[in-house]
Structure 1
Amino acid sequence: MHPLQQLVLLCSVICGVAVGSDASAQDRAAAAKFYRVVDGKADARTYNGYRRYHAGCNHCHGADGLGSTFASSLVDRLPGVESFRRVVRDGQRNGASVMKGFADDPNFAPYMDDIYAYLQARADGALGRGRPGRLEP
Protein backbone atom coordinates (compact mmCIF):
# COMPACT_ATOMS: atom_id res chain seq x y z
CA MET A 1 0.00 0.00 0.00
CA HIS A 2 1.35 3.40 -0.96
CA PRO A 3 1.90 6.07 1.70
CA LEU A 4 -0.86 8.22 0.17
CA GLN A 5 -3.32 5.31 0.35
CA GLN A 6 -2.32 4.71 3.98
CA LEU A 7 -2.93 8.37 4.77
CA VAL A 8 -6.36 8.32 3.10
CA LEU A 9 -7.28 5.14 4.99
CA LEU A 10 -6.11 6.60 8.30
CA CYS A 11 -8.10 9.80 7.73
CA SER A 12 -11.19 7.76 6.86
CA VAL A 13 -10.90 5.74 10.07
CA ILE A 14 -10.38 8.85 12.22
CA CYS A 15 -13.35 10.62 10.63
CA GLY A 16 -15.52 7.53 11.11
CA VAL A 17 -14.61 7.30 14.79
CA ALA A 18 -15.26 11.02 15.31
CA VAL A 19 -18.67 10.86 13.64
CA GLY A 20 -19.59 7.67 15.50
CA SER A 21 -18.62 9.09 18.88
CA ASP A 22 -20.58 12.28 18.19
CA ALA A 23 -23.67 10.23 17.29
CA SER A 24 -23.38 8.13 20.45
CA ALA A 25 -23.04 11.30 22.55
CA GLN A 26 -26.25 12.58 20.96
CA ASP A 27 -27.94 9.23 21.63
CA ARG A 28 -26.90 9.36 25.30
CA ALA A 29 -28.19 12.94 25.63
CA ALA A 30 -31.52 11.99 24.04
CA ALA A 31 -31.83 8.94 26.31
CA ALA A 32 -31.37 11.18 29.37
CA LYS A 33 -34.40 13.20 28.33
CA PHE A 34 -37.71 12.09 29.76
CA TYR A 35 -39.68 14.05 27.19
CA ARG A 36 -40.20 14.18 23.47
CA VAL A 37 -41.33 17.49 21.98
CA VAL A 38 -41.74 18.15 18.26
CA ASP A 39 -42.83 21.57 16.99
CA GLY A 40 -44.14 22.56 20.43
CA LYS A 41 -46.20 19.37 20.78
CA ALA A 42 -45.49 17.02 23.67
CA ASP A 43 -45.59 13.24 23.85
CA ALA A 44 -48.23 11.58 26.07
CA ARG A 45 -45.97 11.34 29.14
CA THR A 46 -44.97 15.01 29.01
CA TYR A 47 -48.52 16.16 28.34
CA ASN A 48 -49.76 14.11 31.31
CA GLY A 49 -46.97 15.67 33.38
CA TYR A 50 -48.27 19.11 32.42
CA ARG A 51 -51.77 18.09 33.58
CA ARG A 52 -50.54 16.56 36.85
CA TYR A 53 -48.25 19.51 37.58
CA HIS A 54 -51.11 21.97 37.13
CA ALA A 55 -53.44 19.83 39.24
CA GLY A 56 -51.34 20.37 42.35
CA CYS A 57 -47.71 21.46 42.08
CA ASN A 58 -48.42 24.87 40.57
CA HIS A 59 -50.15 26.04 43.74
CA CYS A 60 -46.75 26.36 45.37
CA HIS A 61 -44.19 26.19 42.56
CA GLY A 62 -46.02 28.66 40.36
CA ALA A 63 -47.50 28.62 36.91
CA ASP A 64 -45.39 26.56 34.51
CA GLY A 65 -42.77 25.78 37.19
CA LEU A 66 -41.49 29.34 37.51
CA GLY A 67 -41.58 29.45 41.32
CA SER A 68 -43.32 31.66 43.85
CA THR A 69 -42.52 33.66 46.96
CA PHE A 70 -42.41 30.47 49.05
CA ALA A 71 -41.44 27.65 46.67
CA SER A 72 -38.51 27.43 44.29
CA SER A 73 -38.57 27.58 40.52
CA LEU A 74 -38.34 24.10 39.08
CA VAL A 75 -37.52 25.48 35.64
CA ASP A 76 -34.45 27.46 36.71
CA ARG A 77 -33.09 24.76 39.04
CA LEU A 78 -34.49 21.36 38.16
CA PRO A 79 -32.75 18.70 40.24
CA GLY A 80 -31.69 15.35 38.85
CA VAL A 81 -34.46 12.79 38.51
CA GLU A 82 -33.45 10.76 41.59
CA SER A 83 -33.43 13.87 43.83
CA PHE A 84 -36.74 14.96 42.33
CA ARG A 85 -38.34 11.57 43.05
CA ARG A 86 -37.02 11.57 46.62
CA VAL A 87 -38.31 15.06 47.39
CA VAL A 88 -41.73 14.43 45.83
CA ARG A 89 -42.01 11.09 47.61
CA ASP A 90 -40.62 12.07 51.04
CA GLY A 91 -41.05 15.83 51.17
CA GLN A 92 -38.43 18.36 52.15
CA ARG A 93 -37.77 20.99 54.80
CA ASN A 94 -35.52 23.94 54.03
CA GLY A 95 -35.57 26.50 56.83
CA ALA A 96 -39.12 27.80 57.14
CA SER A 97 -40.11 26.26 53.79
CA VAL A 98 -41.73 22.83 54.04
CA MET A 99 -42.98 20.57 51.29
CA LYS A 100 -45.00 17.54 52.32
CA GLY A 101 -44.31 14.19 50.72
CA PHE A 102 -46.68 12.69 48.16
CA ALA A 103 -45.68 9.00 48.44
CA ASP A 104 -49.24 8.00 49.36
CA ASP A 105 -51.07 10.36 47.00
CA PRO A 106 -52.52 8.39 44.06
CA ASN A 107 -52.80 11.59 42.03
CA PHE A 108 -49.05 12.26 42.10
CA ALA A 109 -46.93 9.32 43.30
CA PRO A 110 -47.43 7.16 40.17
CA TYR A 111 -46.82 10.15 37.90
CA MET A 112 -43.54 11.56 39.23
CA ASP A 113 -41.67 10.77 36.00
CA ASP A 114 -44.42 12.36 33.91
CA ILE A 115 -44.20 15.55 35.98
CA TYR A 116 -40.42 15.43 35.68
CA ALA A 117 -40.70 15.06 31.89
CA TYR A 118 -42.83 18.20 31.72
CA LEU A 119 -40.48 20.18 33.99
CA GLN A 120 -37.41 18.95 32.12
CA ALA A 121 -38.94 20.08 28.82
CA ARG A 122 -39.68 23.49 30.38
CA ALA A 123 -36.18 23.75 31.88
CA ASP A 124 -34.57 22.86 28.54
CA GLY A 125 -36.70 25.40 26.68
CA ALA A 126 -38.35 22.68 24.59
CA LEU A 127 -41.78 23.79 25.88
CA GLY A 128 -42.92 27.31 26.53
CA ARG A 129 -45.53 28.50 28.98
CA GLY A 130 -49.11 27.33 28.77
CA ARG A 131 -50.78 24.12 27.68
CA PRO A 132 -48.66 22.23 25.15
CA GLY A 133 -50.09 20.65 22.06
CA ARG A 134 -50.20 16.86 21.93
CA LEU A 135 -48.21 14.65 19.60
CA GLU A 136 -50.29 12.02 17.90
CA PRO A 137 -49.21 8.47 18.84
Structure 2
Amino acid sequence: MATGKFYEIVGGKVDARTYNGFRRYHGSCNHCHGPDGMGSTFASALVDRLPDLEVFRRSVRDGVRSGPSVMKGFANDPNVAPYIDDIYAYLQARADGALGRGRPERLEN
Protein backbone atom coordinates (compact mmCIF):
# COMPACT_ATOMS: atom_id res chain seq x y z
CA MET A 1 0.00 0.00 0.00
CA ALA A 2 1.85 3.08 -1.18
CA THR A 3 -0.95 5.67 -1.46
CA GLY A 4 -3.97 6.77 0.52
CA LYS A 5 -4.60 7.58 4.13
CA PHE A 6 -2.84 5.48 6.74
CA TYR A 7 -4.77 6.93 9.65
CA GLU A 8 -8.36 6.86 10.81
CA ILE A 9 -9.92 9.61 12.91
CA VAL A 10 -13.47 9.32 14.19
CA GLY A 11 -14.99 11.98 16.40
CA GLY A 12 -11.55 13.46 17.00
CA LYS A 13 -10.13 10.12 18.20
CA VAL A 14 -7.43 8.17 16.36
CA ASP A 15 -7.06 4.49 15.52
CA ALA A 16 -4.51 2.28 17.29
CA ARG A 17 -1.91 2.64 14.50
CA THR A 18 -1.97 6.43 14.58
CA TYR A 19 -1.91 6.53 18.38
CA ASN A 20 1.07 4.18 18.44
CA GLY A 21 2.74 6.37 15.81
CA PHE A 22 2.30 9.37 18.11
CA ARG A 23 3.90 7.43 20.97
CA ARG A 24 6.81 6.15 18.85
CA TYR A 25 7.41 9.55 17.24
CA HIS A 26 7.56 11.28 20.62
CA GLY A 27 9.80 8.55 22.00
CA SER A 28 12.41 8.69 19.23
CA CYS A 29 11.88 11.43 16.65
CA ASN A 30 10.73 14.60 18.39
CA HIS A 31 14.18 15.22 19.90
CA CYS A 32 15.30 16.39 16.48
CA HIS A 33 12.16 16.99 14.42
CA GLY A 34 10.33 18.82 17.20
CA PRO A 35 7.09 18.17 19.04
CA ASP A 36 4.26 17.10 16.75
CA GLY A 37 6.54 17.07 13.69
CA MET A 38 6.82 20.86 13.65
CA GLY A 39 10.59 20.94 13.19
CA SER A 40 13.36 22.51 15.23
CA THR A 41 16.60 24.37 14.74
CA PHE A 42 18.21 20.94 14.49
CA ALA A 43 15.98 19.14 11.94
CA SER A 44 13.26 19.92 9.43
CA ALA A 45 9.53 19.93 10.02
CA LEU A 46 7.92 16.73 8.79
CA VAL A 47 4.35 17.99 8.67
CA ASP A 48 5.25 20.65 6.09
CA ARG A 49 6.69 18.25 3.52
CA LEU A 50 5.99 14.64 4.37
CA PRO A 51 7.41 12.40 1.65
CA ASP A 52 5.53 9.45 0.21
CA LEU A 53 5.59 6.27 2.28
CA GLU A 54 8.38 4.49 0.41
CA VAL A 55 10.74 7.47 0.67
CA PHE A 56 9.84 7.84 4.35
CA ARG A 57 10.52 4.15 5.06
CA ARG A 58 13.88 4.29 3.29
CA SER A 59 14.88 7.53 5.04
CA VAL A 60 14.04 6.22 8.50
CA ARG A 61 15.66 2.82 7.91
CA ASP A 62 18.81 4.00 6.14
CA GLY A 63 19.21 7.57 7.39
CA VAL A 64 19.56 10.78 5.41
CA ARG A 65 22.54 12.91 4.44
CA SER A 66 21.63 16.28 3.00
CA GLY A 67 24.31 18.96 3.06
CA PRO A 68 25.40 19.47 6.65
CA SER A 69 22.33 17.62 7.95
CA VAL A 70 22.71 13.98 8.91
CA MET A 71 20.06 11.66 10.31
CA LYS A 72 21.17 8.23 11.45
CA GLY A 73 19.30 5.18 10.23
CA PHE A 74 16.96 3.31 12.57
CA ALA A 75 16.90 -0.07 10.80
CA ASN A 76 18.27 -1.83 13.88
CA ASP A 77 16.28 0.11 16.48
CA PRO A 78 13.53 -2.14 17.89
CA ASN A 79 11.61 0.92 19.11
CA VAL A 80 11.42 2.43 15.62
CA ALA A 81 11.99 -0.03 12.77
CA PRO A 82 8.87 -2.19 13.29
CA TYR A 83 6.71 0.94 13.67
CA ILE A 84 7.72 3.09 10.71
CA ASP A 85 4.26 2.84 9.12
CA ASP A 86 2.63 3.80 12.44
CA ILE A 87 4.86 6.88 12.70
CA TYR A 88 3.96 7.72 9.11
CA ALA A 89 0.24 7.43 9.89
CA TYR A 90 0.61 9.91 12.75
CA LEU A 91 2.66 12.36 10.69
CA GLN A 92 0.30 12.03 7.72
CA ALA A 93 -2.68 12.92 9.93
CA ARG A 94 -0.74 15.93 11.21
CA ALA A 95 0.36 16.96 7.69
CA ASP A 96 -3.21 16.68 6.38
CA GLY A 97 -4.48 18.90 9.18
CA ALA A 98 -6.74 16.09 10.39
CA LEU A 99 -4.98 15.91 13.76
CA GLY A 100 -3.95 18.80 15.95
CA ARG A 101 -0.98 19.15 18.23
CA GLY A 102 -0.67 17.24 21.49
CA ARG A 103 -1.56 13.73 22.62
CA PRO A 104 -4.53 12.38 20.64
CA GLU A 105 -7.34 10.43 22.19
CA ARG A 106 -7.49 6.80 21.11
CA LEU A 107 -10.54 5.11 19.63
CA GLU A 108 -11.81 2.27 21.76
CA ASN A 109 -11.87 -1.13 20.07
Work out whether the TM-score is over 0.5.
yes
- CA distance in structure 1 between the partners assigned to 2:44 and 2:53 by the alignment: 16
How far off its partner does 1:85 sit? 0.1
TM-score, normalising length: structure 1: 0.77
Structure 1 residue runs of 4+, over 6 Å off?
Answer: none
Q: Aligned to 2:21, which of 41, 49, 62?
A: 49
5+ residue gaps, structure 1? 1-30
Match of 2:64 among 92, 116, 131: 92
Aligned to 2:46: 74
TM-score, length-normalised on structure 2? 0.96
Q: Show the 5 A alignment for 1:105-124.
A: 105-124=77-96
What CA distance in whole angstroms lies between the structure 2 residues aligned with 1:104 and 1:56? 13
Q: In 2, Cα distance between the equivalents of 1:81 and 1:123?
A: 13
Gaps of 5+ in 2: none
Instruction: Figure out how many residues of one structure are paired with residues of the other and give that number.
Output: 107
Tell me the percent identity: 78
Residue-by-residue CA offset, 1:52-85 (whole Å, 9 max, x unaligned): 0000100000000000112111001000000000
- Which residue identity does 1:67 align to in structure 2? G
Shift of 1:134: 0.5
